[in-house]
Amino acid sequence: MFCGAFVTFGLFGHLLIMYASPLSVRIQGLFFGAPEHDVAALTAFFSILITTVNFVTSVEVRFYPQYRNYFSLFNDNGNIGDIETTETSMIRILRDELTYLGYKQVFTTIIFIIIGTLLLPRTSLGFNSLMLGMFRVLCAGYAFYAIGNSIMLILLYFADNRGAFWVTASFAVLTNLASVLILFTDSRFYGFGFLIGSAVFCVFAYIRLDWYIKK
């Protein structure tokens, strides 16, 4: 429950914080927006769809059978040799799939930034130089988030709830704290709060998973 809340707070909190920035527009009553930031964030968010799909169609499809076999042997009194062999295979496939997932996301992010920089100013979305800058920064931030979130889901596979709790908590706190602090800087730096929090989330999740599987 807490992991889900932290991820949601970290993923969407920076959008709400921008409603207190100079980019904020009050539509009516409590209906606020920050159109320049919101549109840049929406278009950047599409860059992580490949990782969302890839986690289900590739990582889980290849990893889950190994995971199931390992714990089936472990729980049903399999012999030590079979358990260790299956464990080695499971961890190897997990590392391979997470590596491929990371490569795909980095490649997609680069393509999004290049194509977006060329095409978005020609659309009717009103992209200017400030929005393009935020778009590039947020593309990088969402890439770190997508990879970190995938690793965190693997922690939940292994029932490392404590580890998942702390890495998602760091994501929520750092993303929003950094976003608040960046409000006091130039608008060119908007989006870096989410990038910083997402990068830390990704690194912490990787460190925790690496520590956990070595046990």
Look up the domain containing 195 and give its range.
Answer: 2-214
| Alpha-carbon gap, residue 62 to 55, rounded angstroms | 10
pLDDT at 171: 96
Q: Outline where 60-160 has alpha helix (H).
A: 60-75, 80-119, 129-157
Task: List the structure tokens of 43.
Answer: 């278009």
Residue 90: which residues within 8 A CB-CB, separation 6 or more?
63, 66, 67, 69, 70
Considering its fold, how many domains does the chain have in total? 1
Q: How many residues can be counted in the chain?
A: 215
- Determine the Cα–Cα distance for residues 169 and 3; give it in Å rounded to an integer: 7
Q: Whole-prediction pTM value?
A: 0.90
Helices 2-17 + 129-157 axis angle, to 10: 170
Answer for the pair 72, 78: CB distance below 8 angstroms, yes or no. yes
Q: Chunk the chain into consecutive blocks of 10 residues (it has 215) and report each block's average pLDDT, rounded to whole numbers.
A: 94 91 86 89 92 84 86 82 86 91 93 92 86 93 95 92 95 95 88 94 95 89
pLDDT reported for residue 70: 85
**Crossing angle for the helix pair 129-157 and 161-182, to the nearest 10 degrees:** 170
Q: How high is the pLDDT of residue 62?
A: 86
First to last CA, the chain: 26
